[in-house]
Amino acid sequence: QQQVKQSPQSLIVQKGGISIINCAYENTAFDYFPWYQQFPGKGPALLIAIRPDVSEKKEGRFTISFNKSAKQFSLHIMDSQPGDSATYFCAASIRGSNTGKLIFGQGTTLQVKP
Amino acid sequence: DTGVSQDPRHKITKRGQNVTFRCDPISEHNRLYWYRQTLGQGPEFLTYFQNEAQLEKSRLLSDRFSAERPKGSFSTLEIQRTEQGDSAMYLCASSFTPPTGSHQPQHFGDGTRLSIL
């Protein structure tokens, strides 16, 4: 029940295209869903995050769509650029918990072809 | 604000040796987390500190692992009698949680990559 399942494992998109990464969770107590971007040899960097009281959040070319009833959320990268090539992780946590620990998905390796 | 700093960036050691990693969180961040990331996987929670108190440890943290955060500032993670399976990236993250209110985003360092020969 603590798992977050992420798909696809890898994704190849042409420059200018839309990249879509999906995540699903089981624990309905999760109430914070961040996305992290990780380049080789670097730590994860927070990209964008959403709480379940909204269905969509947009920051620049990055949009999170959230479906509470389906317990799914997704990251859309519009106008994908070669510089977006990285590994993306969805995560979930319970903000009101003592820990606030993040449960991560397995990651999606995105390659944007020029 | 220089971000979360981890040292060393890489550590190569022989099986059975002890290793220690250091994490310097963002100043004034009261929460510090340790995660482990193996190749092709997402980070997995190991333990966290609220100021100097270690408040939760994952089942992944065997008795060979110990973490400290003296005075609520930097933290160290020590692995004793290292095993092949300990090879991974060890990530540190910090955040600030106000006395009342929900947790704030976690900011990660670039990790320490441990290789066991």
Q: Where does the pLDDT of residue B89 fall: very low under 50, low under 70, confident under 90, or very high at 90 and above?
A: very high
A96 interaction partners in chain B (CB closer than 8 Å):
102
Rounded-to-integer distance, Cα B73 and Cα A75, Å: 35
Task: Tell me whether residues B95 and A96 touch, CB distance under 8 A.
Answer: no
| pLDDT tens readout for residues B32-61 | 999 999 999 999 999 999 999 999 999 988
Please list the residues that pair with A62 across neighbouring strands.
A59, A77
Task: Tell me whether residues A99 and B109 touch, CB distance under 8 A.
Answer: no
- Angle CA A52–A56–A97, to nearest 5: 25
Q: Where does the pLDDT of residue B71 fall: very low under 50, low under 70, confident under 90, or very high at 90 and above?
A: confident
Q: How far is B90 from chain A (nearest CA, A)?
A: 10
Q: A40 at the B interface (CB within 8 A)? A: no
For the ranges A2-11, A27-36, A51-60, A90-99, the lowest mean pLDDT is seen at A90-99
Report the SS3 class of residue B110.
coil
Model pLDDT, residue A22: 98
Model pLDDT, residue B101: 65
Q: B25 at the A interface (CB within 8 A)? A: no
Is B1's pLDDT higher than 60?
A: no
| pLDDT tens readout for residues A7-23 | 999 999 999 999 999 99
B41 interaction partners in chain A (CB closer than 8 Å):
106-107
B24 interaction partners in chain A (CB closer than 8 Å):
none
Model pLDDT, residue A21: 98
